[in-house]
């Protein structure tokens, strides 16, 4: 199966679930992430503001922010993801692709390798080896190699996990997948 065919398959599967069912699965996934040692030990986290069909990690953003963790969210800048400090729900604005983005300061690129302990990463699909299939624009493909000392935790709905997905030489697998 090609990457394009797999994306189409996942989109079709998502349509079989109601928004209520996806929200319930999202909450269960968030609870698993919150219970992980990686979450509990991290002081600086990279999260994402979800699209309507992604795992809704807004409870994680809220919990991390309210507990004093430093929360970073991506902002699309050209072909790259720039990480910005999240400073609360009122500091968000709609950005590229209709995604809410933080207006806080940029997190310096030279801090990526050592200062981000946990990155929670979305994907269209993951396989059992941690390989990730994104939406096809390569934003995370360009970001993940910079996070070479960060624990990468993929999150997805159970039906998004495949035994194997097409992999390219530049793909960076995540350390684990929570679904």
Per-residue HEC secondary structure of 160-177 comes to HEECCCCCCCCCCCCCEE
The confidence band for 32, taking pLDDT boundaries of 50, 70 and 90, is: very high
- The SS3 of residue 153 is strand
From start to end of the chain, where are the E strands? 44-46, 70-77, 80-85, 92-94, 100-102, 118-122, 125-127, 132-133, 151-155, 161-162, 176-178
Helices 58-66 and 19-35 pack at an angle, to 10 degrees, of 40
Instruction: Please name the residues in contact with 110: beta carbons below 8 A apart, sequence gap of 6 or more.
Output: none
Residue 169 reports pLDDT greater than 90: no
What residues does 44 pair with on adjacent strands? 70
Give domain limits for the chain.
3-178
Residue 112 reports pLDDT greater than 80: no
* Mean per-residue pLDDT, 97-109: 89
Classify residue 105 by its DSSP letter.
Answer: P
What are 108-116's contacts with CB under 8 Å, separation 24+? 109/146, 112/83, 112/146, 112/147, 112/150, 113/146, 113/147, 113/148, 113/149, 113/150, 114/149, 115/44, 116/44, 116/45, 116/46, 116/72, 116/147, 116/150
Arch. (CATH architecture) of 3-178? 3-Layer(aba) Sandwich (3.40)
d(CA 66, CA 148): 27
Residue 58 or residue 136, greater confidence: 58
pTM, full prediction? 0.94
Residue 80 reports pLDDT greater than 80: yes
Q: Quick one: pLDDT at residue 111?
A: 66
Question: How far is the CA of 80 from the CAs of 32, 34, 74, 143, in angstroms?
Answer: 29, 28, 9, 7
- Give the tens place of pLDDT for each residue, 3-29: 999 999 999 999 999 999 999 999 999
The confidence band for 97, taking pLDDT boundaries of 50, 70 and 90, is: confident
């Amino acid at each position: 199966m090609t990457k394009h065919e797999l994306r189409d398959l996942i989109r079709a599967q998502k349509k079989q679930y109601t928004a209520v069912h996806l929200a319930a699965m999202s909450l269960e996934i968030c609870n698993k992430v919150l219970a992980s040692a990686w979450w509990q030990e991290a002081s600086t986290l990279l999260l994402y503001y979800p699209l309507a069909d992604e795992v809704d990690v807004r409870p994680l953003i809220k919990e991390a922010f309210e507990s004093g963790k430093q929360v970073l969210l991506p902002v699309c800048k050209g072909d790259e993801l720039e990480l910005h400090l999240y400073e609360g729900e009122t500091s968000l604005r709609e950005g590229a692709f209709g995604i809410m983005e933080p207006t806080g300061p940029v997190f310096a690129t030279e801090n990526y390798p050592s200062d981000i302990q946990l990155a929670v990463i979305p994907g269209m699909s993951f396989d059992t080896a941690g390989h990730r299939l994104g939406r096809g624009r390569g934003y995370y493909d360009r970001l993940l190699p910079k996070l070479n000392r960060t624990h990468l935790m993929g999150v997805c709905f159970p039906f998004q996990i495949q035994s194997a997905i097409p992999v390219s030489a530049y793909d960076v697998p995540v350390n684990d997948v929570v679904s």
